[in-house]
Chain A
Amino acid sequence: MITFDDVVKVYPGGSTAVDHLSLELPTGKTTVFVGPSGCGKTTSLRMINRMINPTSGRILIDGQDVAGQDDALLRRKIGYVIQHAGLFPHRTVLDNVATVPMLLGKSRKEARTAALGLLERVGLSAEFASRYPAQLSGGQQQRVGVARALAADPPVMLMDEPFSAVDPVVREGLHREFLRLQKDLGKTIAMVTHDIDEAIKLGDVVVILRQGGKLAQIGTPQELLDHPADEFVAEFVGRDRGLRSLSFDTAAGLPVRPLTADLLLDEAGRPVSWGDGEPTGGTFTVEDSLRLVTDLAITSPVGIAVRVDANGKADGLVPHHDLVDHLAERRAAK
């Protein structure tokens, strides 16, 4: 757990970057700092590994004040990923990844062997090992950046806008891999982004800061979407927050109607089309989100979303008026 205890950062010249910030980043979870520029999110992140020292207040990692610790030793225990990756251009991909283990005293051979395993872990084949950063695409560089930060298996990771320098398609892929990796590794991650959608997608906890380094709200993505603390947060999370909040509920509680003869099935029971030849336009399972079901019901030519089981066999129908009733009940329950 990372604890901010009444942390203040005033830069020389008098501008306040972080204003009496107190919060906790839970162990094994991803906490995303988000806010407009000048809200002190990067400053907050960089105070965790003492790249910046607070003016007052304390930051503790698992109860230990970072202020009392040797800078370099502290940082070797904390993974560090930055925008554009910041890879060493004069070192091969493999040696970039091997950097921290070697700083910690591992032999070159040992560090390189471990590095090779990590490259695979972030989805890069061994052929990349001997390349130099300039020979990689932006997305590949960022993967190496993540592998490098993971190399010494640090319990804590700091990620400063790690995915903002790549194009949207590549970013989408990196997001998926990030979530997959974090599911396996369960690191305590502090991430900074200016993109609220990224924060909602990747964060277990989202910290919204406002200009002048004040905490606006902290909570799970769904809490922020459903119950923004004030106008600023509501504005910041965006106009379609109601719809996006549906991403966090599954279709498990959604009542379905029995199949009708209008839905044509193949011999395995999988939906083919509606009786008049209209396509079903996609299906959902109980594990999919309410957002997907809503989308299916809206786009379906007959206004009905089709549910299937794990084998793809149709097992229920949701007409969109049922969905509207369910959403109204869900709203009343909150």
Chain B
Amino acid sequence: MNLSYLFDAAHWSLTADGSIPQLILSHVWYVVLALIIGTIIALPVGLYIGHTGRGSFLAINAGNAGRSLPTLGLLMLMVTLLGLGLTPVLIALTVLVIPPILTSAYAGMRTLDHRVVDAARGMGMRPWQVLFKVELPMALPVMMSGFRSAALQVVATATVAAAVGLNGLGRLLIDGLAVNDYSRVLAGAIVVAVLAVVLDLILALAQRWIVSPGLR
């Protein structure tokens, strides 16, 4: 096992099919899609449950259920039901990101200082103003930590896309294993790890930018 595959300039061509940059691009594409769809589904549900306190049973158990669900198994089930393509992959990855986003949105809203919310109402903010001007900004640090953990999980897990014929960095792992090219497997593992670190760094910067300094 060595780093020859990783450091071979030919594998970094921007135009060649299956080159590392192209695999990174498709990998990031799956990650971003899963995060967007997952956020659209999980965020409103988590906020609603956290805001009203109704259905907190669901929020707490979604976290545990989601963690115990094997993504690869779910992917195979979806492929069996829906056939090959992007959809089954996105479903499997979205199911993975929903629990941390939902649970953290719920937790962020639940742990708000109710006195501050009371003050906001008492000063004459309407319910939607309380939500957007007070509750959401205050819950943001907790919500962001859930989103970052979802992003890290999905970056690592999006490699399963290659198991059902799609691209992404999983190609390096699966193809490398198939032909006993461990240098390629190692390159895949390293690039996925670096990608995860870089993504988390970007999200950390975004968090610094959108979370008020008063909450740090």
A residues adjacent to B (C-beta < 8 A)? 49, 51, 71-77, 80, 82-92, 99-100, 103, 132-134, 148-149, 158
Say if the beta carbon of B177 comes within 8 Å of chain A.
no
Tell me whether A74 and B124 are in contact (CB under 8 A): yes
Tell me whether B129 and A103 are in contact (CB under 8 A): yes
Tell me whether A99 and B118 are in contact (CB under 8 A): no
25 A-B pairs, CB-CB below 8 angstroms?
Answer: A49-B122, A71-B124, A72-B124, A72-B125, A75-B121, A75-B122, A76-B123, A77-B124, A80-B122, A82-B119, A84-B115, A86-B118, A87-B116, A88-B116, A88-B119, A88-B138, A89-B212, A90-B137, A90-B138, A90-B214, A100-B123, A100-B124, A132-B212, A132-B213, A158-B122
Say if the beta carbon of B199 comes within 8 Å of chain A.
no
Say if the beta carbon of B54 comes within 8 Å of chain A.
no
Q: How far is the CA of A51 from the CA of B125 in the complex (A)?
A: 12
Q: Please, which residue of chain A has its CB at the minimum distance from the CB of B138?
A: A90
- Give the chain B neighbours of A85 by CB distance below 8 A: 119
- Give the chain B neighbours of A90 by CB distance below 8 A: 137-138, 211-212, 214-215
| Most B-side CB within 10 Å, residue of A51, A82, A89 | A89
Tell me whether B124 and A89 are in contact (CB under 8 A): no
Tell me whether B122 and A51 are in contact (CB under 8 A): yes
Q: How far is the CB of A310 from chain B (nearest CB, A)?
A: 44
**What interface size band does chain B fall in?**
20 to 34
Q: Please, which residue of chain B has its CB at the minimum distance from the CB of A131?
A: B214
Q: How far is the CA of A80 from the CA of B125 in the complex (A)?
A: 12
- Give the chain B neighbours of A149 by CB distance below 8 A: 123
Tell me whether B123 and A103 are in contact (CB under 8 A): yes
Q: How far is the CA of A80 from the CA of B116 in the complex (A)?
A: 12
Which A-B residue pairs are the 4 nearest by beta carbons? A132-B214, A86-B119, A76-B124, A90-B212
Q: How far is the CB of A197 from chain B (nearest CB, A)?
A: 25
Interface string of B193-216 (1 = CB under 8 A from A): 000000000000000000111110
Tell me whether B124 and A75 are in contact (CB under 8 A): yes
Q: How far is the CB of B68 from chain A (nearest CB, A)?
A: 35
Tell me whether B123 and A80 are in contact (CB under 8 A): yes
| Most B-side CB within 10 Å, residue of A87, A88, A148 | A88
Tell me whether A88 and B126 are in contact (CB under 8 A): no
Q: How far is the CA of A297 from the CA of B176 in the complex (A)?
A: 99
B residues adjacent to A (C-beta < 8 A)? 113, 115-116, 118-126, 129, 134, 137-138, 211-215
Q: How far is the CB of A42 from chain B (nearest CB, A)?
A: 11
- Give the chain A neighbours of B129 by CB distance below 8 A: 103
Q: How far is the CB of B207 from chain A (nearest CB, A)?
A: 13
Q: How far is the CB of B199 from chain A (nearest CB, A)?
A: 25
Q: Please, which residue of chain A has its CB at the minimum distance from the CB of B211?
A: A90
- Give the chain B neighbours of A71 by CB distance below 8 A: 124
Q: How far is the CA of A91 from the CA of B125 in the complex (A)?
A: 15
Q: Which of B118, B120, B214 contacts A133 (CB 8 A)?
A: B214
Q: How far is the CA of A133 from the CA of B113 in the complex (A)?
A: 13
Q: Please, which residue of chain A has its CB at the minimum distance from the CB of B115?
A: A86
Q: How far is the CA of A82 from the CA of B137 in the complex (A)?
A: 21
Q: Which of A73, A86, A103 contacts B116 (CB 8 A)?
A: A86
Tell me whether B126 and A72 are in contact (CB under 8 A): yes
- Give the chain B neighbours of A75 by CB distance below 8 A: 121-124
- Give the chain A neighbours of B115 by CB distance below 8 A: 82-84, 86
Tell me whether B125 and A103 are in contact (CB under 8 A): yes
- Give the chain B neighbours of A100 by CB distance below 8 A: 123-124
- Give the chain A neighbours of B212 by CB distance below 8 A: 89-91, 132
Q: How far is the CB of B36 from chain A (nearest CB, A)?
A: 25
| Extra contacts besides A71-B124, A82-B115, A132-B214 (8): CB < 8 Å | A49-B122, A51-B118, A72-B124, A72-B126, A82-B118, A84-B115, A88-B116, A103-B124
Q: How far is the CA of A71 from the CA of B126 in the complex (A)?
A: 8
- Give the chain B neighbours of A87 by CB distance below 8 A: 116, 119
Q: How far is the CA of A149 from the CA of B122 in the complex (A)?
A: 10
- Give the chain B neighbours of A88 by CB distance below 8 A: 116, 119-120, 134, 138
Q: Which of B119, B137, B214 contacts A92 (CB 8 A)?
A: B214
Q: How far is the CA of A266 from the CA of B165 in the complex (A)?
A: 105
Q: Which of A74, A80, A103, A134 contacts B119 (CB 8 A)?
A: A80
Tell me whether B121 and A51 are in contact (CB under 8 A): yes
Q: How far is the CA of A241 from the CA of B121 in the complex (A)?
A: 39
Q: Please, which residue of chain B has its CB at the minimum distance from the CB of A102?
A: B133
Q: How far is the CA of A324 from the CA of B115 in the complex (A)?
A: 50
- Give the chain B neighbours of A49 by CB distance below 8 A: 122
- Give the chain A neighbours of B116 by CB distance below 8 A: 86-89
Q: How far is the CB of B117 from chain A (nearest CB, A)?
A: 8
- Give the chain B neighbours of A73 by CB distance below 8 A: 124
Q: How far is the CA of A121 from the CA of B115 in the complex (A)?
A: 25
Q: How far is the CA of A88 from the CA of B213 in the complex (A)?
A: 12
- Give the chain B neighbours of A133 by CB distance below 8 A: 214
